[in-house]
Structure 1
Amino acid sequence: MKLLVTGITGKVGTNFLPEFLANEKFSGWSLRALCNNRVIDHATIEIVRGSLSDEHTVRAALDGVTHVLHMAAVKESPHLAIDVGVKGIFNLLEAFRTSKEARQFILIGGDCSVGHIFHPYDAPITESSPRRAYPGCYALTKVIEEVMLEQYRIQYGINACCLRAPWIMEKDDFRYVLSFRDQFGGPAWSEFLTDEAIARHAEAGAIPLLRDARGAPLKRNFIHVSDLVSAILLTLGNPAADGELFNVGMDVPVDYACVAAQLSASHGVPVVEISTPFHSNWLDNTKARMLLGWRPTVDLKLLIQRAWAYARAPDDPRLVWYPG
């Protein structure tokens, strides 16, 4: 078996690689990475260098490949969105469907395809809920990816599935999600607070308690990268994944009131309430738990513990490849 990975130098890819190599299930598999701007240096990985938008590069990368794990993505970069998010997956799927060796195609999607906190849903978001992208090119391309994958299954009967993940956390990410000083992701505090208020909260070491459009504590979906990696490993070569879309997130969404209560009790931090126009949603992971036998292991308590206990070494700088 030969696995082609795109996006191997990113957050998920760098966590996936050691787990894949250590897993006896995949002993004897070979690994190839399609890299463009950043290249991984690893003795066991064959590298193909080039852009996903180039048909010839992609076909060369698929040569002899049995399984594809497509994780490459760009955020709010309109000049790259079509190349990566549209042409990229089209080229991969075209090469995959015409290959005699190809067996399984896995796409890592995102809950931006269902609008995460931007659109209201009357019930938990399942795999049959309507897709509702929020403004911006990134969410649009994630919807296009899901739909294109779905249509290739219908048109050509390929073995393909999508793991739809919410906001992916590792190391001390979650601590920076709640920071007024060095914020990671959004919503940007400047949308709700003055510069003076942000500076005051940063100096106090405060954390936000976001409230949704109804005034209730906001509930937003997250997943720890280790749980996403475990879902990928369970999906690779698994017949139960054939043709399926799976939501893979924490069992319950993160409740900002619970976050505030835990951190106030454990670290004595002050809490700042912030009203927002956003919506509390629940990404239902029942299907992945039932068909894949997958269980997320990092809950809110552990997410907080890991983020606040993480200490960076000098050779482990905080790098944010894209803002969220």
Structure 2
Amino acid sequence: MILVTGSAGRVGRAVVAALRAEGRAVRGLDLRPSGTGGEEIVGSFEDAQAVANALEGVRAVLHLGAFMSWAALDRDRMFEVNVAGTRRLLNAASETGVRRFVFASSGEVYPENRPEFLPITEDHPLRPNSLYGLTKLLGEELVRFHQRTGSMETVILRFSHTQDAEELLDEESFFSGPRFFLRPRIRQQLSFGNLAIADLLRSRDIGEPSHILARNENSRPFRMHITDTRDMVAGVLLALDHPKAAGGTFNLGADEPVDFAALLPKLCALTGLPTVTVDFPGDGVYYHTSNERIRNTLGFEAQWTMDRMLDDAVAARRQRIAKERRL
């Protein structure tokens, strides 16, 4: 039996589906039902009994669940779930004889948005500047402790930013909406309380829906990794099964970053919307994270380039528009 935490999340749902497609016994653990059928436990890492029930008969754990928030009111909860919850799960897994424990960390442990050198390898200094990144680094330390002191094999995967392809052209999607569309970006910044940035964005509103090309204060376009969920699933399954994964730490993500200056004209051509350019204060987002270690050690091969993702995104957008017109 394989336990997948965060089984109702983007990557967790896809991992569970992939494992079941292979005929493997899998159990989900999440705060909310996944709606996908199959065996799952609705509960929290904070609940020792839910953790014990979830681990019954389990030989491998894919710990993909976490709590992410930028709100000050959520800080205590984030530490309780991501740090204390991970510790509780690790301890229980070790005590019940779990063979392998795979931990989903994040590029925020470096952090990717403040790199000291490029490309970012697994040897980059670990100096997170967000509370989420700090909780992930503390989770990694707990995992490494168990690797040093116990018999359970552990694997750390530092996740790239992950998207389902269909989200890329969806104004309502949580990440891609504000990243690539102006008005969703305005709403996001208002929700964060970033009034000065919201005013800057409003000043660029041309009176109709539009894309946004984000640049830094020196007019350098943003650049970051965006990895298709399907490639992330492939990497997680390698971490679960590959003999050489045990004890390892791996960046998991696309081969190349996405240059927003190259991407936005493609989005424009696909949606028919204009693009406005906004220069944000500060250094902006600009990084390239290397996946060389996981490629060379485990044979990982990213399959879903941005162009392939956009093909799927276009089909999904057409379906949404057709549905809206029928309604």
Shared fold, TM over 0.5: yes
Pick from 163, 168, 192 the counterpart of residue 197 of structure 2.
192
Q: Partner residue of 2:184?
A: 182
Per-residue deviation, 1:95: 1.1
| Structure 1 position 17 matched with structure 2 position 16 | yes
Structural RMSD (CA):
2.8
Name the SS for the 1:125 alignment partner. Answer: coil
Per-residue deviation, 1:13: 1.7
- Identity, in percent, stands at 25
Answer yes or no: is the 8 Å Cα contact 1:206–1:269 preserved in 2: yes
Which whole-Å CA distance do the structure 1 matches of 2:168 and 2:252 have between them?
18
AA in 2 matched with 1:83: E
Which whole-Å CA distance do the structure 2 matches of 1:303 and 1:218 have between them?
19
Q: Partner residue of 2:166?
A: 172
Name the SS for the 2:309 alignment partner. Answer: helix
Per-residue deviation, 1:152: 1.9
Which whole-Å CA distance do the structure 2 matches of 1:145 and 1:22 have between them?
30
Per-residue deviation, 1:99: 2.2
The alpha-carbon distance between structure 1 residues 306 and 181, as it changes in their structure 2 partners (threshold 3 A), is farther
Which whole-Å CA distance do the structure 2 matches of 1:196 and 1:289 have between them?
40
Which whole-Å CA distance do the structure 2 matches of 1:87 and 1:144 have between them?
10
Per-residue deviation, 1:240: 1.4
Give the paired residue count. Answer: 305
Answer yes or no: is the 8 Å Cα contact 2:4–2:29 preserved in 1: yes
Which whole-Å CA distance do the structure 1 matches of 2:83 and 2:186 have between them?
27
Answer yes or no: is the 8 Å Cα contact 1:181–1:199 preserved in 2: no
| Structure 1 position 147 matched with structure 2 position 141 | yes
* Higher helix proportion (structure 1 or 2): 2
Q: Partner residue of 1:7?
A: 6
The alpha-carbon distance between structure 1 residues 299 and 10, as it changes in their structure 2 partners (threshold 3 A), is same
AA in 1 matched with 2:108: C
Per-residue deviation, 1:182: 2.9
The alpha-carbon distance between structure 1 residues 126 and 157, as it changes in their structure 2 partners (threshold 3 A), is farther
Which whole-Å CA distance do the structure 2 matches of 1:173 and 1:264 have between them?
15
The alpha-carbon distance between structure 1 residues 7 and 14, as it changes in their structure 2 partners (threshold 3 A), is same
Q: Partner residue of 1:98?
A: 95
Pick from 216, 240, 246 the counterpart of residue 242 of structure 1.
246
Normalised to the residue count of structure 1, the TM-score between the two structures is 0.84
Return 5+ residue gaps in structure 2 as ranges.
170-176
Answer yes or no: is the 8 Å Cα contact 1:5–1:68 preserved in 2: yes
Pick from 222, 226, 229 the counterpart of residue 225 of structure 1.
229
Per-residue deviation, 1:262: 2.3
Q: Partner residue of 1:158?
A: 152
Pick from 281, 290, 304 the counterpart of residue 284 of structure 1.
290
Which whole-Å CA distance do the structure 1 matches of 2:196 and 2:168 have between them?
20
Q: Partner residue of 1:39?
A: 33
Which whole-Å CA distance do the structure 1 matches of 2:161 and 2:11 have between them?
11
Q: Partner residue of 2:219?
A: 215
The alpha-carbon distance between structure 1 residues 241 and 124, as it changes in their structure 2 partners (threshold 3 A), is same
